[in-house]
Structure 1
Amino acid sequence: MTEPLDAIILPAAADVQAAYREWLSHLAHERRLSPKSVEAYGRDVRFFLRFMMGHLGAPPTLVDLAGLGPRDVRAFLARRRTEGLSSRSLMRALAAARSFSRFLERNGHGGASALTAIRGPKLPRSLPKPISAALARQVVDVDSRAGDERPDWVLARDAAVLALLYGCGLRIAEALSLTREEAPIEGRRAVTVTGKGGKARTVPVIPVVGQAIEDYLKLCPWSLKPGGPLFVGTRGGPLSPRMIQRAMEQLRGALGLSDTATPHALRHSFATHLLARGGDLRSIQELLGHSSLSTTQIYTEVDADRLLAVHAATHPRA
């Protein structure tokens, strides 16, 4: 459970405390970040302020933050490194501090320019690991669960959720956010979901995915309310993402898949297989809900030659 703002003891002067709370409100309501993202950003900045209090010898004020130099920021990163943070976590901590600094600057408090002058640690490039089209089809096939002792309706439910991930490129949270009345059945061939940053998009649903959902609904023993969740747990409440992750873990063993075959890998596979069959990169970007084409490139494991070919075919100045 997220700790209430009023209960957080912030290691900073009163003017910084007030700005910190305004910044978190800005992240939640104007930038529309998820509660978990807001909590993570806030936690990283609290670590930053706590370090600066010890580093400066007193709770930092807005004037203190504006006067920080590159050496101060390097000292913070070095301390966090000694505490066992990975390069990726250090980058996240630096990004949070930079976000707070930019907010201060936009609101006339000077910010901390030293935060932008410091280069963050290099990150190893980790590409997603899509699975083959043949294996993806087995993952979403109920028959692949032969021998599983769970109820038939649960097996059909898991297959339907995974079908949405692979057939529509949805995130787990997006699939589980669908309500009963939004189910793509009875001629409805699209779903509208809200992704990261509160960005809504409409995604077409192919017949095989709609059929998987219909099969689940026929077997589901619970009476689903129109505005309630489409996918439910064994007690009738909202389905936990962990249940889908666990179902995928069981399939990894049954089908001989690698540890990288996660539910999210099905989303990668959706994009990669579309591109391999001649899909347009920009259209795939829209289907995935990415704001940046470079993110879609990573998702689809596009090589340089393929990306140049897409650029030449679509760019007006090519």
Structure 2
Amino acid sequence: MRTETIDLNGHPFFLRRWGDPANPPLLLLHGFPEFGGAWAELAPLLAERFHCIAPDQRGYGQSWAPDDVAMYRTSQLVGDMAALIDHLGGGPLTVMGHDWGAAVAYGLAMFRPELVDRLIIANGVHPVPFQRALARGGDQAEASQYILALRREGSEERLAANDFAKMKELFLAKMDHAWMTPAKLADYVTEWSRPGRLKTMIHWYRASPLQVAKPGAPITDLPEPPKDKLMVHCPHLLIWGLGDTALLPEATEGLEDFAPDLTRVEFNGADHWICHQLPAQVARSILEWCDRP
């Protein structure tokens, strides 16, 4: 693994790389509350086929972290990664996203389709099926009430108190955390402890237009989404850990309507942190899918 800091649109972004730069590039986009190092188990298993590039996204780790909620709109986050793709020599290339990284990966595939030839998502969601699930006021809305808590002013201070006790609890709540060794947890704490970083990580939630219903109180006045602008036309692989308690199966219902070339691969014995729990199985699924005619 190699690291470097590059300039994107006048701002520093920290990258980790695995594999031969002569190989086809694979852009790996982490989510909350992780950083580019979250791909350390999976990327080496893909590095014989791909040149894996994992940035710390805006507001995370050692990358640029402006303290302004308005700087974390999806269009700006997608713009960062479009600039990175240009820095790497231009697209199209394969993009993989997890959690919030999936939102940026979907954004690239939908709004900058010339940059993405294949889209891989691991336990992440397209905005339309997810918003519909959140609006129903059912199980997904109940599982996502933490979003409202994170959006409250000062939530980063509560999460950071007592050596990030609440942050650790939120990270691993109701999930299998056997993969989280003391050394890995120390790495996460290092990244969360960078000045202002926990606040800017949470700004992704504050800037999001997603509406989260209260359980049992559906939101019924959502505007109809512009389907033609939210299509994924490239081949799309969705890898799903069935034990995910943060993103439930209903959050992907109807995805085929927006991704006509969709392949679903599901795993028992894994949850939201599938890339940490089953890296070999995830890598095999990716490589087999990429070998399809």
Asked if Structure 1 and Structure 2 have the same fold, meaning a TM-score greater than 0.5 normalized by the shorter chain, the answer is: no
TM-score using structure 1 length: 0.24
- Structure with the greater alpha carbon radius of gyration: 1
Q: Whose helix proportion is higher, 1 or 2?
A: 1
TM-score using structure 2 length: 0.25
Considering Cα pairs closer than 8 Å and 6+ residues apart, tell me whether 1 or 2 has the greater RCO: 2
Q: Whose strand proportion is higher, 1 or 2?
A: 2
